[in-house]
Each structure stands twice: as C-alpha cells, then as structure tokens.
Amino acid sequence: MNKATIKDIDLKEKSVLVRVDFNVPLDSQRNVTDDTRIRAALSTIQYLMDQGCRIILMSHLGRPEGKYEAKYSMEPVAKRLSELLHKEVKQAKDCTSQETKQMAKELKSGEILLLENTRFYPGETKNDKELSKELAALGEVFVNDAFGAAHRAHSSTVGVAEYIPAVAGLLLEKELSVLTEALETPARPFTAIIGGAKVSDKIAVLENLVNKVDNLIIGGGMANTFLKSRGVNMADSLVEEDKLELAKAIEEKANTLGVNLLLPVDMVIAQEMNEEAQTQVIRGDVPEGYKALDIGPASAEAFAQIIRNSALVLWNGPMGVFEIDKFARGTEVVAKAMAECEGKTIIGGGDSVAAVEKVGVAHSIYHISTGGGASLEFLEGKVLPGVAALKDK
Ligand code: ADP
Ligand code: MG
C-alpha cells in the first residue's frame, strides 16, 4: 500500500485520534446484536495500547440528523468494547465541549476515551472545517481505521487529516491490500460472482470487473435483466427495462475480452414472494404471472464448480431472495462453495455477509469486508476519499 500506516510512524506515548467504524446494529433494548465491526478494530486499538498511546476513538452510529438523540448514543458500544478489551473505556458526552477536551487531555498512557456519535454534529457530513479543526485538536496524530466509512468525505474521515498527520489503521490497511491485490494482481483463475437485487446498484462494479476477471457470474435479481436482454421472457420478475442495453453491452464486452460470463440456466419461480408460495424450477421463459426468485439447482451447481476451481473469488450480492427460506438455496450453495474453495475468497456487501453467516461458513472465508458501500466503490475503481486524505508512505 502506498499510504502510511500506524506501523510507519513513531506513535510511542502519543495522543492518537482514531476514526473507527462502530456503526453496529442494535436491538430495541439498545444491545449490540452484531459486534463484528467492534472486533475488527481491536487489533489497531491493541497496537496503540502497546505503544502506550492515549487513545481517543470516534465513530458515527446510525443516521441521527445533526443533533443529540439518545437512541443513537455510543453508550452500548462503549460497554461492548470494554467487555471485549477487559478494560475501562471512558465515555465522552459529546465530541467538542471543554469537558471532553479535558477528558482527552487527562488520558494516561494506554487509556481509551470514546467520543459521542460524530453525526450529532451537522458539520460531520458536510466535512465542516470548524468541526474538523476541533476534532483534530483532541490528538497529535489521526488514525483512520474506518474502512466502512472511507467512501464518505466527512469531518471525521477526511477533514481532520488536514490538521494533524494522518495514517491508516491495521483494518483499513488489510481491507485495502486484499481488494487492491484482487484488482491489480489477482491469482488466476479469478472469478467474480455478483448478485443482489438490481443491476443499477452495481453497474460500475460490473463495468470495472469485466476487465479483470476470467469468470463473471451473474445471479440474483440482476440476472433477470441480463436474461431478458438475451430475449428470455421474465414475466413478473424484477427487471430493469432501462438497463437492458447496458446488460447487452457488458455481455458483448465480456465476449470481446474472452471472459466467461455465466447466467443462471434454471430458476426457482413463484407467483408470490413469501414463505407460503408454491415454487417450481424452470428453464427458459418464465410463465406469465410468475417471478424468478432464486437461481435453480443446476445453475447453483455450475456456479459452485467454477467457484471451487478458482484461485481467487470475489462475491457480492445474494443469488436470490435469501431472506425467505424457499428462495435461499442458491445463495447457500454458493456460500458453501466459497467455503470449500482452496483459493482466496473475498466477500463484500451487507446481505452477502449476512448470508455466509447464516449458513455458518464465515470462518472459512479468507476475507469478509467490513464495508459494503466502501468495498463496492473501491471495486468500481474509485479512489476512496478517506484513503486519499492519508499521508503517503
Ligand atoms: P449486498 O448487500 O450483499 O450488496 P444487495 O443489497 O445488492 O446485496 O442485494 C440483496 C437483496 O437482493 C436481497 O434483499 C435479496 O432479497 C434481493 N434479491 C436477490 N435476488 C432477487 C430476485 N431474484 N428478485 C428480487 N430480489 C432479489
Ligand atoms: Mg444490501
């Protein structure tokens, strides 16, 4: 990586402001229901503790609208982090008051202070200069470890980097190095398997990946648009009529480049999208009144075989409406094939990650990205603003 990380600079005993991605799901009692993102930040926090740093952590949580709202307080996160570290995590009431500045100043070597939700400030999402300056004043060095927020140019991800030296944390570095390797020096055969609801969400990803991969597998709702562009009748399936030409263009590009583009050869269809629906497996045209809601067993097996025989696989987007058991088979088969693949397997996208966790194979995956939106933008070939703002090596 061409950006400096916490290992490239002397941090001994420094006061360090760290942007983490603690935007975790909470239940109605405000318990953290999935602490993956908190765990993912532990190696950076531990490293900073070992360096004797005074550690000031900040993150956003949910989407408060620029003012304090108790339901978006970082309190449950502080509690969970403290349990994971077996250590006190001090909690600030806000980010910029005199009292918070004092708390930051009084931290001792190895101590941790968690600021309140950065989105309690309207300036955060506007990358406001004043807010950035105030946040930056809390530390001597800025560490960005929030890969999941790196595609946003906010005060806590980009603005602060103008005022104090800014370097990457270990999680950010890992995410970037895995994804960069996939785009720049992939092991081959390299397979991308892209699904999810809509082509429109992932056009730019398809357009970029078609230039890089050996196999491009398309499943999920977005396959419907590709199938229709080949002349298959999709009846009531989700199809984006305005993307038919684009689907055709991507397919032509794949042909020109010699990329093996695979679409489902069979589909699970139903009249309704619910647990009670009567399902059928069909090949070819979808009968009137029906929708394609999952890839069929023959497609799933064909996709699985390619995945198992790849040296590198990148998966984003479920193969069907996996939230409903009747339409989850295709996604499950793909998740298992990912786990069985001996090459490197990378998964990005909130729903795809939820799917591998549901199937129980997450531990067999080489890299599960903590940032859905950020990983997509990276795979589109974009420079993430939170990364661009960091010091070069
Ligand atoms: P990710 O979060 O992994 O990037 P997306 O958000 O792009 O994935 O897509 C996930 C959604 O796509 C799921 O809610 C799923 O129900 C939906 N989906 C998948 N296949 C179909 C289909 N055939 N018809 C309608 N929706 C689908
Ligand atoms: Mg999603």
Q: What single string gives the DSSP state of each residue in 338-364?
A: HHH-SSEEEEESHHHHHHHHHHT-GGG
Distance CA 316, CA 318 (A): 7
CA of 55 relative to ligand 1 center, distance in Å: 39
Atom 17 in ligand 1: residue holding the nearest Cα = 197
- Could you tell me if 53 and 11 are in contact, meaning their C-beta atoms sit under 8 angstroms apart? yes
CATH C-level class of 15-171: alpha beta
Strand partners, 262: 217
CATH fold for domain 178-379: Rossmann fold (3.40.50)
Residue 349 above 90 pLDDT? no
**Per the structure block, which two tokens stand in for 84?**
């994971």
| Nearest residue by C-alpha to atom 5 in ligand 1 | 196
Residue of 228, 351, 352 to mutate, ligand 1, most atoms within 8 A of C-beta: 351
Please name which ligand lies nearest the alpha carbon of 199: 1
**Cα 386 versus chain centre, distance:** 14
Q: According to the model, what pLDDT value does residue 1 have?
A: 81
The closest-lying atom of ligand 1 relative to the alpha carbon of residue 219 is 20
Confidence band of 202 (pLDDT split at 50, 70, 90) = very high
Phi, psi torsion values for 281, nearest 5 degrees: -105, 130
Q: How confident is the model at residue 61 (pLDDT cuts 50, 70, 90)?
A: very high
pLDDT tens digits for 291-323? 999 999 999 999 999 999 999 999 999 999 999
Which residues form ligand 1's pocket by a CB distance below 6 Å?
196-197, 201, 220-221, 238, 292-293, 316-318, 320-321, 323, 349-352, 372
1 close to 170: Cβ distance less than 8 angstroms = no
pLDDT at 207 (0 to 100): 95
| Dist. CA 256 → ligand 2 center (Å) | 31
Ligand nearest 354 Cα, by number?
1
Q: How far is the CA of 125 from the centre of ligand 2 (A)?
A: 22
Residue with tokens 């969400």: 201
The segment(s) of the chain belonging to CATH 3.40.50.1260 are 15-171, 178-379
Average pLDDT over residues 224-244: 97
What percent of the chain lies above the pLDDT cut of 70? Answer: 100
- pLDDT tier for residue 350 given thresholds of 50, 70 and 90: confident
Model confidence at 370, pLDDT cuts 50, 70, 90, reads very high
- State in Å: Cα 60 to ligand 2 middle: 19
Mean of per-residue pLDDT scores for the chain? 97
Q: Which atom of ligand 1 is nearest to the CA of 223?
A: 23
Active centre residues (catalytic) = 37, 198, 350, 373
